[in-house]
């Protein structure tokens, strides 16, 4: 059995399971309908292949998730304090940040993580230049800006360790755009 067929069967099974969960009925007709819908989605509406040049590292991925969890807890406490404390509303700003992530997939994951953290929201991404523009809450002084950059450095470091270490990086799939914005032939 080829890898592609295994992927399609797994996707079909997953979509069928979601279908059954959505309907909340384990009747044979519902299961059959889920399989048919899954096959239709997999074969009639295929997603494009995503070029992946790095290697997945499970231990670094676990640490990455712990780092994200720690940033989430800390930011939640900080934003809660901003809401509850008396005084003027906090100053916010849009900060520009260049990242060294090569893969579009990993860049998307980083952007999602940055937007997930309370008090920050990615408002624009320049994927050719690898620049993200992030709206940051409570930028009252240089120390707060430095903290944002330090947290982003930490996230970027663990995303690279989990997905695209430089010593394991392979060039992108032919016909895709590289991190420097050039078409890879």
Closest alpha carbon to 66 in 135, 162, 165: 162
Q: What is the DSSP letter of 55?
A: -
Contacts with 178 (C-beta within 8 Å, 6 or more apart), sequence order: 102, 171, 172, 184
- CB of 181 closer than 8 Å to CB of 128: yes
**Per-domain residue ranges of the chain:** 3-44, 58-168
Closest alpha carbon to 65 in 159, 129, 148: 159
Q: pTM of this prediction?
A: 0.71
Is residue 1 scored above 80 in pLDDT? Answer: no
pLDDT tens by residue, 2-59: 888 898 999 999 999 999 999 998 899 999 999 999 999 999 988 777 666 778 899 9
pLDDT tens by residue, 103-112: 888 999 999 9
Tokens encoding 105: 């997939």
pLDDT interval class at 181 (50, 70, 90): very low
pLDDT tens by residue, 145-168: 999 999 999 999 999 999 987 777
Cβ atoms within 10 A of the Cβ of 87, count? 6
The predicted structure's pLDDT at residue 175? 47
Contacts with 148 (C-beta within 8 Å, 6 or more apart), sequence order: 95, 97, 120, 134, 136, 139
pLDDT tens by residue, 78-90: 999 998 988 888 8
Contacts with 17 (C-beta within 8 Å, 6 or more apart), sequence order: 34
């Amino acid at each position: 059995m080829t890898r592609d067929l295994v992927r399609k069967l797994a996707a079909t099974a997953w979509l069928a399971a979601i279908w059954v969960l959505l309907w909340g009925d384990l009747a044979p007709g519902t299961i059959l309908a889920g399989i048919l819908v899954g096959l239709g989605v997999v074969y009639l509406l295929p997603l494009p292949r995503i070029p992946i040049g790095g290697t997945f590292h499970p231990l670094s991925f676990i640490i990455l998730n712990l780092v994200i969890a720690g940033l989430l807890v800390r930011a939640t406490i900080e934003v809660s304090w901003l809401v509850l404390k008396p005084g003027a509303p906090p100053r916010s700003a849009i900060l520009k940040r260049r990242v060294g992530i090569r893969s579009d997939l990993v860049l998307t994951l980083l952007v999602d993580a940055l937007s997930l953290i309370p008090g920050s929201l990615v408002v624009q991404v320049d994927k050719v230049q690898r620049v993200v523009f992030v709206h940051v809450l409570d930028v009252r002084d240089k120390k707060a800006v430095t903290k944002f950059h330090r947290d982003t450095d930490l996230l970027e470091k663990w995303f690279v360790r989990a997905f695209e270490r430089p010593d394991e990086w392979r060039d992108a799939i032919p016909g895709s755009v590289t991190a420097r914005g050039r078409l890879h032939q």
